[in-house]
Amino acid sequence: MTTTTVPAVEKSLLGITGARGLETGRDRLAAMTPQCGFGELGTCCRTCYLGPCRIDPFGDGPQKGVCGLSADTMVARNLLREAVGGAASHVGHARHLLLLLRDALDDGAPYPIRGPERAFALGKLFGVPTEGRSAKEVCRALVDVALQDFGRQDGKPNNWLSRRAPAREREAWRAAGLDYSNPHNEIETAMHASSMGNDADPVTLLMRVLKIGLVDGWSGLALCTDVQDILFGTPQVTPVEASPGVLEERSVNLAVHGHNPVLSEKILEWAGKLEKEAAAVGAERINVVGVCCTGNELTMRHGVPLAAHNTQAELILATGAVDGMVVDIQCIWPALPQMAACFDTAFITTDEMVHIPGARHVPFEPARADESASGMVRAAIEAFAKRKGKRVDIPKVKTRAVAGLSVEAIVGILSKVNAEDPLKPVVDAVAGGSILGFAGIVGCSNLKFRDGAMTEALVKELLANDVLVVTTGCTAHVCAQDGLLTPEATGRYCGPGLKAVLGALGQAAGLGGPLPPVWHMGSCVDNSRIVDLLAAVAGRLGVKISQLPAAGSAPELVQEKAISIGSFFLALGAMVHVAPAPRVLGSPLVTKVLTQDLPGITGGKVFVEYDPKKAAAGMIAHIREKRAGLGI
């Protein structure tokens, strides 16, 4: 790492935990360092009880597991299991949403259809009759199409992949044997193949990683986004506030954390309905704030403030000002209820998969959503009543951001510039070189890189080189906290070409200023929106996604879900920069396949670099190479 800039927000939060003597993830990381080298390299195998076996990459000691397994197979097998962990999370999230939509259509859960236009658009895409039918009728048909994929045993192509994926890529995946049928079967097969005594060929194991990437992408990410847009509406551009300074001393602060808006949407609704009860205990209002991806979902659709990304979830509890933290699924640290216990905070787990010692567990059943959500809001009000008058340490840092840039919102803005051909102004700017290319900077915030402001430094370097950035997930929080999601950032950070284009587009669209240089496209499942945007641009140019002057990055990898999302983008043909290194470096063969051979298979390529300037340089070189390939 070359930078040592600690972001202002982290600094102020760490000042609070330091002053209060509270343990944080940084303390636990320091106690854990140095971490296991075998684990980092991927050369530790725990899939059977002849082991655990480990292989020293420097050639000292045994070079095979007890069963004869090579380091290459060990690494490929471990990578596949990580990808499966990620895909299971996203596919499980999607299936849950589908079942909720089905129940809601039969009045079995109190959720109206707030995105009928999305239902009709998908209905047309899936060949479902829409003429003269209600949104509910179209949704019923769509639910049947989607659920067919989860039950099918006929080996026929997966509906969501077949209809949602761009045609050129679909054909390439079919030819490479990467298309799939039932997502659950693929997850099962991958776990089966990677268990002891099955697939020992690192190359076929790696092909399975790509296939799991597609399962993640189409039956996880895309399906989640589609159903969430049907249920809760397609995001539109909205100004928001960000950073822990959005907490309010005199209000009931209720943080929602996790990924599934089925819970957080209801919490928001009930927060609005219970304002009088909050006032009765002396609160100015109920202030719902967002953490991690469910925060992004509420921000994109309702302008709810973004309070914290993943590594800050425990830090905002240390302010003493969070009265309730209600969590659903994924990325919930077990440390959170421990921190909450130091204060009056009501920390509530809600999902049957997420029980955490020290938390209050209140099962959230969609059929009784109103009763459950109102109870959780009341728990936060009660906690406020206990907390009132006690010391709180809310950092003064509050930033502004523009959120809600779904593909539909982007096309809406660009339509004001060119109604006939909305993508033309952007495509022309790329062809003319004012926009050098596109970068998707996505994924997590990692303690190992926060003190170096890895994400912020990478984004700024790309902007200075006229690369337009889109973002999702915790990276979107990081960008919001650094002021990168504002029109002002365009003038401050962009190169002359990008600055001029964003200024002209903003004026032409009647925004009274430039478009922001980093576009907040949503939560991690909304990486599907990035794919839709790339597919639209590629389709407009008549090329494959792998030919676009574009690159992706997960600059602060944490979760298995980032591995499965990265695998999806590799299957799509994208360059994927990542730091820290995926656990593959213990295998020269796997490393070579991912960095050198993959471009000849899907066009994708893994690029590992810990220095943000060098990472940007590598991504820019890739973008230039792609430009040259297109003759621009």
Q: Determine if 450 is a binding residue for ligand BF8 (CB under 6 A).
A: no
Min separation Cβ 291 and ligand BF8, Å: 8
CA dihedral of 131, 136, 139, 140, whole degrees rounded to 10: -100
Q: Determine if 331 is a binding residue for ligand BF8 (CB under 6 A).
A: yes
Per CB under 6 A, the list member of 113, 318, 413, 444 interacting with ligand BF8 is 444
Q: Which DSSP string do the residues of 279-296 spell out, in sequence order?
A: HHTT-S-EEEEEEHHHHH
Give strand pairing partners of 238: 403
Q: Determine if 224 is a binding residue for ligand BF8 (CB under 6 A).
A: no
Q: Which is nearer to ligand BF8, 143 or 441 (CB)?
A: 441
Q: Which is nearer to ligand BF8, 178 or 444 (CB)?
A: 444
Q: Which is nearer to ligand BF8, 166 or 443 (CB)?
A: 443
From residue 536, give the alpha-carbon distance in Å to each of 405, 411, 631.
15, 10, 20
Region label for 107, one of left (φ > 0), alpha (ψ between -120 and 50) or beta (otherwise): left
Q: Which is nearer to ligand BF8, 292 or 501 (CB)?
A: 292
Three-state SS at 240: strand
Residue of 194, 226, 157 whose CA lies nearest to 76: 194
Min separation Cβ 331 and ligand BF8, Å: 3
One-letter amino acid of 75: V
Q: Which is nearer to ligand BF8, 146 or 331 (CB)?
A: 331
CB neighbour list of residue 226: distance below 8 Å, 6 or more residues apart: 118, 122, 164, 528
CA dihedral of 608, 612, 617, 622, whole degrees rounded to 10: 40
Q: Which is nearer to ligand BF8, 501 or 558 (CB)?
A: 558
Q: Which is nearer to ligand BF8, 370 or 451 (CB)?
A: 451
Q: Determine if 606 is a binding residue for ligand BF8 (CB under 6 A).
A: no
Which region among 42-50, 97-105, 238-246, 556-564 touches ligand BF8 (by CB under 6 A)?
Answer: 556-564
Q: How many CA atoms lie within 13 A of 259 on its CB side?
A: 27
Q: Determine if 293 is a binding residue for ligand BF8 (CB under 6 A).
A: yes
Q: Which is nearer to ligand BF8, 264 or 523 (CB)?
A: 523
Binding pattern for the stretch 463-482 against ligand BF8, x by CB under 6 A and - elsewhere: ----------xx--------
Per CB under 6 A, the list member of 292, 308, 317, 515 interacting with ligand BF8 is 292
Q: Determine if 561 is a binding residue for ligand BF8 (CB under 6 A).
A: yes
Q: Which is nearer to ligand BF8, 374 or 559 (CB)?
A: 559
Residue whose pair of structure tokens reads 């259509």 in the numeric block? 105
Give strand pairing partners of 241: 400
Min separation Cβ 477 and ligand BF8, Å: 8
Q: What residues between 181 and 210 interact with ligand BF8 by CB under 6 A?
A: none
Q: What residues between 351 and 380 interact with ligand BF8 by CB under 6 A?
A: none
Q: Which two tokens stand for residue 428?
A: 């022309």
What span, in angstroms and rounded, lies between the C-alpha atoms of 541 and 427? Answer: 8
Which region among 43-51, 109-117, 130-138, 553-561 touches ligand BF8 (by CB under 6 A)?
Answer: 553-561
Q: Determine if 558 is a binding residue for ligand BF8 (CB under 6 A).
A: yes
Buried b (16+ CB within 10 A) or exposed e, 195-232: eeeebbebeebbbbbbbbbbbbbbbbbbbbbbbbbbbb
- In the complex, the residues that contact ligand BF8 under the rule CB under 6 A are 259, 292-293, 310, 331, 443-444, 473-474, 523-524, 558-559, 561-562
